[in-house]
Structure 1
Amino acid sequence: MELTHFDEQGNARMVDVGAKDITERVAVAEGFISISDDIYQRIELGMVKKGDVLGVAQLAAIMGAKQTSNLIPLCHPLALTNVNVICELDQIRRAVRIEATVKTKGRTGVEMEALTAVQVGLLTVYDMCKAIDKQMVMGPVYLVEKMGGKSGHFKRSED
């Protein structure tokens, strides 16, 4: 497999996507942060001193998707047409679950934007709750699905 982000001399480069067709691109990513029972209950009751954890994480995730090309060195800046983020408590995992769906019409996919959105949202949960418990664990974070572009449709297989 050819490494597209390196030139013949091994130098990092941004891939030229100018010849690619403009198509609808969609990516969905999901991730979790495991939290203590105390944090879970405080989020559920709206009793975290820094505020609405799920609401702030949702906004942070949306902002993260929009900033991806500033954070990941070789990502193209994209005009996103939609970013939808779900932040919710997952009682079975005792975690916060974040799902990000990102869309654009362009020449390159939005997988990195979806994954960045989830990571920024999870980091925000950590930041807002670290005074209660610093033992939170982020992960797994993964691409659930992507559509559009030359490589076609990808859907993560169920574990």
Structure 2
Amino acid sequence: MMRRFFAAIAILWFIGFAWFTIALPRPYDGGISQAVIVPTGAAGRIEHGLEVLANGDAREMLVTGVDREVRPAEFAAQFGVSMELMQCCITLGYKAVDTRGNAAETAEWIEDRGITDLRLVTTDWHMRRARNELEHSIPAGVTIIGDAVESEPSLRILFLEYHKYIASRVANIWRE
């Protein structure tokens, strides 16, 4: 009886992991949102968020999880952003240190601005967990559009992220 139980758990885990690795979220193709949210981390996220902003697909941007030592002028220089754009449209969020913190910081930021739809820009392998945390932190009725930055994650990254995603889902079930 126990062997069957553990075999069923192993099969479910394997199917879930296969789905997680094969069906990674994709970039969003078109549409405008009020804001773009970019958690710091893997390469390409901030650049893609800035592209969304430059294309007029969002009117403002939150970069959440920025190191406390990074100043707006340094950020602007590193990413080739004018100080005018920094002042009008880009907020650097310094409160978050992890994905759950990114979601909490984002929830506070969008509430302060009355934002009802946002575009989440993060790496394809991180999108599911980031979105899950965000959905459990923001007010009901806020629309989230996922806009994944494509990458070539290693099996190690996928393995770790799959387990973090499962833990996030379970934790959010317990919080409800």
Report which of the two has the higher share of helix: 2
Q: Which has the higher contact order (CA 8 A, sep 6+)?
A: 1
Report which of the two has the higher share of strand: 1
TM-score by length of 2: 0.25
